[in-house]
Chains A and B, each alone.
Chain A
Amino acid sequence: MEGRLLPILLACLCAVLSAVGIVLVRRMVRCTLLLLVHSLSIAMLYLLLDADFVAMGQITVYSGAIVVLFLFVVLLLPSGGEERPLERGRLLLVAMVGAAVLIPFAIAFAGVQTDPLAVAPTDAGFGVKKLAHVLFGPLLVPFEVTAVLLLVAIVGGVALWQREDRGGAA
Chain B
Amino acid sequence: MIAAVGTTSQVELLVLGTSMLLFAIGVMGLVARRNPMGVLMSVELMLNAANLLLVLAARVRGLLDAQAGALLVLVLGAAEAVVGLALALAFFRHKAEADVADPGEVHE
Contacts and interface: CB of A to CB of B under 8 A. Distances in A.
A66 B77 contact: yes
B16 to A, nearest CB: 7
B62 A22 contact: no
Contact count band on B: 35 or more
B11 A8 contact: yes
B90 A62 contact: no
Contacts, number: 274
Interface in A75-90: 76-79, 81-84, 86, 90
Interface of chain B: mostly helix, strand, loop or mixed: helix
Interface of A: 1-6, 8-9, 12, 15-16, 19-20, 22-23, 28, 31-32, 35, 38-39, 42, 45-46, 49-51, 53-54, 57-58, 61-62, 65-66, 69-70, 73-74, 76-79, 81-84, 86, 90-91, 93-94, 97-98, 101-102, 105, 108-109, 112, 114-116, 118, 120-122, 125-126, 130-131, 133-135, 138-139, 142-143, 146, 149-150, 152-154, 156-158, 160-161, 163-164, 167-168
B86 A160 contact: yes
Interface of B: 2-18, 20-29, 31-38, 40-42, 44-45, 48, 51-52, 55-56, 58-62, 64-65, 67-72, 74-83, 85-90, 92-99, 105, 108
A62 B56 CA distance: 19
Contacts of A74: 37
Q: Which 9 residue pairs across A and B have the least CB separation, nearest first?
A: A5-B6, A121-B62, A114-B9, A23-B29, A153-B79, A157-B86, A12-B18, A164-B90, A83-B35
